[in-house]
Amino acid sequence: MDMQKVNSMDFGEFVDVFGNVIERCPLIAAAVWSQRPFSDLEDLERHFFEFIDTLPRSGQEGILRCHPDLAGRDLQRGTLTAESQREQSGAGLTTLSGDERRRLSELNARYRARFGFSFVLAVRLSDRAAVPGELARRLHQQPEHELRTALGEVKKIGHLRLLDLLGSEPARLGP
Amino acid sequence: MDMQKVNSMDFGEFVDVFGNVIERCPLIAAAVWSQRPFSDLEDLERHFFEFIDTLPRSGQEGILRCHPDLAGRDLQRGTLTAESQREQSGAGLTTLSGDERRRLSELNARYRARFGFSFVLAVRLSDRAAVPGELARRLHQQPEHELRTALGEVKKIGHLRLLDLLGSEPARLGP
């Protein structure tokens, strides 16, 4: 898809296509449409990220709270978004053993209790073996620092999803 | 549901329950959770509305763009949210004649082309007979004025949805 096509979309089409660049936050894509025309992928992406950066802290935390846990309830129930399902599956998180799932579930619960939002990680740049260690490491960060780290992961996920949609270069799947 | 119950919810439960108070904008409920505890329905509602009011204009337009057209594509396809389905059905918008539907569709398209967002109306305070006239009237408003009118309708819808959920007094269905 080229930018000419993107710039010609009405907001309904635009939200259909880009509504989940930021997980479960179609409001953000719907807001970004106001900034068209976009010169290229970087320009489009910059508007997504600027919107996130200018939200009040509660809104930034809200974005994180809209993300599903890794290997969590939505995966068990089959209620992940298509993008999240692909990403978690690609990282091997859909085929954990019972013990691995319980360990992640316990770490996720501790993380949510400490920070008041979900643990977000761009798992396409990671894998199932690395996730528990990364979660345990971030559990010990200071809340301000962890909020910035988590929003950085939201942006990495968004970047990869935009690459998938615009397809100008292959999305890198390795670290 | 009383406020003690609401204040005891973790953010996952809170977003499950209140995620569609603002249509297709769970981010807003997820942000409002940061402001707990809430003293009563008015207090909870105030946080939803304040979040809307402090968004940049693109974000406010984004909220409107997340709303479905009345008697539009989502209704035809069966992809309305449960709340919107009930509201449009209650107003008689699910049983329009072909002519009525075409007339609304044409007005909706003109409205979207003029303002760059969807026509939003709290149809529980209206009915199928009044909708086309109200749409035609608002089509002639100035964009700044119409943005404020439309956000006022978003808040009326949110108020009625909160009343439904908290059930302390019956939601008024008449004007």
- In tens, the pLDDT along A98-151 reads 999 999 999 999 999 999 999 999 999 998 899 999 999 999 999 999 999 999
Q: What is the pLDDT of residues A25-41, one digit of tens each?
A: 999 999 999 999 999 99
pLDDT surpassing 50 at residue B87 = yes
- pLDDT of B171 reads 43
The answer to whether position B114 is within a domain reads yes
Task: Name the pLDDT band for A168 (thresholds 50, 70, 90).
Answer: low
Q: B145 an active-site residue?
A: no
- CATH code, domain carrying A130: 1.10.3330.10
Domain count, chain B: 1
Alpha-carbon distance values, B64 to A117, B28, B68, B138 (Å): 26, 13, 9, 15
- pLDDT of B167 reads 82
The answer to whether position B175 is within a domain reads no
**Which tokens go with A131?**
């996730």
Closest residue, chain A, to B74 (C-alpha): A12
Q: For the purposes of burial, counting CB atoms within 10 Å of the CB of A113, is it exposed (0-12), middle (13-18) or buried (19 or more)? A: exposed
- DSSP for chain A, written as a single string: --HHHHHT--HHHHHHHHTTSSTT-HHHHHHHGGG---SSHHHHHHHHHHHHHHS-HHHHHHHHHTSPPTTSHHHHHT-S-HHHHHHHHHTTGGG--HHHHHHHHHHHHHHHHHHSS-----GGGS-TTTHHHHHHHHTTS-HHHHHHHHHHHHHHHHHHHHHHHH-SSPPP---
Contacts of A11 in chain B (CB under 8 A): 65, 112, 116-117
Complex-level ipTM beyond the 0.85 threshold: yes
Contact with chain A for residue B77, Cβ under 8 A:
no
Tell me which residue range forms the domain holding B21. 3-166
pLDDT surpassing 50 at residue B172 = no
Contacts of A31 in chain B (CB under 8 A): 55-56, 58-59, 61-62
Inter-chain touch A66–B26, beta carbons under 8 Å = yes
Residue with tokens 């890794």: A70
Give the percent of chain B with pLDDT over 90. 92
pLDDT surpassing 80 at residue B91 = yes
The answer to whether position B77 is within a domain reads yes
Task: Name the pLDDT band for A167 (thresholds 50, 70, 90).
Answer: confident
The answer to whether position B42 is within a domain reads yes
Residue pairs between chains A and B whose CB atoms are closer than 8 Å: 97
Contact with chain A for residue B12, Cβ under 8 A:
yes
The answer to whether position B88 is within a domain reads yes
The answer to whether position A38 is within a domain reads yes
User: What are phi and psi for residue B80, nearest 5 degrees?
Assistant: -70, 155
The answer to whether position A175 is within a domain reads no
